[in-house]
């Protein structure tokens, strides 16, 4: 299982901003920033799950756009 930091890194590498991740996950942008920068003291299971869901949704829609 990938960490929240790894998931965010993959999203960021694909051009998704921290603000877009925050909106898509309903997690505050400062929290996304702390996870992204490695300064978070830990990520709750709920936040990790929300990030994982957003990640899956983003990459499934991105791959369907490539296939179209």
pLDDT computed for residue 61 by the predictor: 85
- How far is Cα 61 from Cα 39, in angstroms, rounded to an integer? 30
* Domain map (residue ranges) of the chain: 4-62
So what's the pLDDT on residue 16?
A: 98
Spatial separation of the C-alpha atoms in residues 53 and 41, rounded to whole Å: 21
Show the low-confidence residues of the chain (pLDDT under 50). none
pLDDT score, position 64: 67
Q: What is the pLDDT of residue 39?
A: 96
Residue 7, both tokens: 């998931």
Angstrom distances, CA of residue 32 to CA of 17, 22, 44, 65: 10, 6, 12, 26
């Amino acid at each position: 299982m990938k960490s929240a930091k790894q998931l965010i890194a993959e999203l960021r590498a694909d051009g998704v901003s921290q603000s877009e991740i925050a909106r898509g996950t309903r997690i505050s942008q400062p929290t996304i920033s702390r996870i992204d920068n490695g300064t978070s003291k830990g990520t709750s299971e709920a936040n990790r799950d929300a990030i994982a869901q957003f990640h899956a949704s983003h990459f499934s829609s991105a791959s369907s756009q490539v296939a179209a």
